[in-house]
Amino acid sequence: ENDKTTILHTSLISSSSSVDLLKTRNMKFSAIAFLFTATSVAAFSPAGTASRTSALFSTTEVETKTNAPVFDEVCETTGVTLTRFMAEVAMLNPELSELTTLFGAIDTACKAITNLVKRSQLPSSETLGLEGEINIQGEDQKKLDVITNDLLKRALRFTGKLGVLASEEEDTPVDIMPANAKKSEIVIDEGEKYVAVFDPLDGSSNVDAGIPTGTIIGIYEHDENCVIDENCVGEECTEQEAQCLANTLQPGTNLVAAAYCLYSSSTFFVLTLGNGTYGFTLDENIGEFVLSHPNIKIPETSQIISFNEANTYMWDEPLKKVVTGWKAGTGKSGETFSSRYIGSMVGDVHRTLLYGGVFGYPGDTKNTTGKLRLLYEGAPMSFIMEQAGGLSTTGTKRVMEIVPEVVHQRVPIIMGSKNDIQEVIDAYAEAGAN
């Protein structure tokens, strides 16, 4: 079937008269239309916003990082595939053309991982149980952790577009070029544009029980000034390598793209390129991810909390007070909240995006900095959440603005529906003022 694509461009210039009015200057946006059948059209437009705010979210600015494609004719059989979507994005944003190759590799890796997860329960798969090693987090590595980590490394390595990656399962960021893949030092080759950070199998501790799991990925641009002199010796080399390692220690505001794959009743692929959040579902009949959730928008107010409430007694008082009010129906919205908690960040955040709600793994007296890793869990998922119209905070800071000091730095995270998260932020601000 022949696809006929028309790309529309419009420009938007807006001014603001108050801090509540979204500001957009000299930024382009495109509306997107998705034709589900020959006679019915569902139109959607990209979010076009990345929440740029102060620590307390008192003001909000709009930032559009990319132009989004328009599909005026879509094949009834295949719909809009991830491959076509990325091709159109590259056409509109030539500077992102190399991302097409990178996401092609991620697409393939997610398909391979979903098959591994599906077959993991079979005795012949030999993928369940512990590997017998401890990762840098001090956690027992599942066999699937190791397998999926290696799978993603290999998929990304052969794109030729990536110089450095950081993973939950690696002690340090690793060079992924073939000749150096087993070395602990970092070597940056010229011509590689991106740095990838990822959690290969989030929620793997529950995989033996068939609980939904996922893969989280963040993509940064790598510093073109990162060069290691081949003739350097000793501490001189160490200093140059340290500067290159800093490529991975970037705040979420520097993210070029973020995505997650959810392995559940279906396999979902959700991504943002800085202009809205888009969800794809794997059509196993054709082996392609197909656009199923265009321009996801999280409800601004909700009735769902997603926390490990067994730790409530150890939480900060402002958060404890807010959550208690929600459960009693005495919060700002007046709604009585119910609890839904899977224990897998990707699964919980995916539900929160679609239905609204508040997901959190806050700090407590036992884990003062929380348990989720900033670089490859907190920042990418916060980017996706903000692009869908939600907020993400530690309670006192915007997660996207925190600069990691070490690769595996942990951070408290509370994210979800805008009005509910704002209530948490206000509670922390009031407690600080008192």
C-beta of residue 362 within 8 angstroms of C-beta of residue 395? yes
Torsion angle of the four alpha carbons 416, 420, 423, 427, in this order, in degrees rounded to the nearest 10? -60
Tokens of 175: 């060079």
Distance CA 356, CA 203 (A): 21
Instruction: Taking residues 327-356, report their average pLDDT.
Output: 96
Between 404 and 123, whose confidence is greater? 404
Distance CA 409, CA 27 (A): 34
**What is the pTM assigned to this prediction?**
0.76
Query: In the chain, how long is the greatest CA-to-CA distance?
Result: 68
User: What mean pLDDT value characterizes the chain?
Assistant: 76
Tens digit of each residue's pLDDT (9 = 90 or more) over 176-215 = 444 443 333 333 333 367 888 888 888 888 887 889 999 9
CA atoms 175, 177, 183, 188: torsion sign:
negative
Tens digit of each residue's pLDDT (9 = 90 or more) over 122-151 = 877 766 555 545 554 555 566 777 888 888
Instruction: Taking residues 31-48, report their average pLDDT.
Output: 32
Contact residues for 128 (Cβ-Cβ < 8 A; gap 6+): 120, 121, 142, 143, 144, 207, 208
Distance CA 259, CA 410 (A): 20
Distance CA 59, CA 135 (A): 40
Instruction: Taking residues 402-431, report their average pLDDT.
Output: 94
Name the DSSP class of 180.
G
C-beta of residue 62 within 8 angstroms of C-beta of residue 48? yes
Between 200 and 283, whose confidence is greater? 283
| CA–CA–CA angle 96, 99, 103 (5° rounding) | 150
C-beta of residue 413 within 8 angstroms of C-beta of residue 374? no
CA atoms within 13 A on the CB side of 142: 21
pLDDT for the residue 233 = 57
* Backbone dihedral region for residue 317 (phi beyond 0: left; psi -120 to 50: alpha; all else: beta): alpha
Q: Taking Cα atoms as reference points, which of 269, 263, 259, 272 lies closest to residue 342?
A: 263
Torsion angle of the four alpha carbons 154, 157, 159, 165, in this order, in degrees rounded to the nearest 10? 120
Q: Residue 306: is its pLDDT beyond 90?
A: yes
C-beta of residue 88 within 8 angstroms of C-beta of residue 5? yes
Name the DSSP class of 210.
T
Residue ranges and CATH numbers for the domains of the chain are 82-120+142-179+189-295 (3.30.540.10), 304-431 (3.40.190.80)
What is the chain's percent helix, strand, coil content, to nearest 5? Answer: 30, 25, 45
Q: What percent of the chain has pLDDT over 90?
A: 47
Strands 10-14, 24-29: pairing is: antiparallel
Contact residues for 235 (Cβ-Cβ < 8 A; gap 6+): none
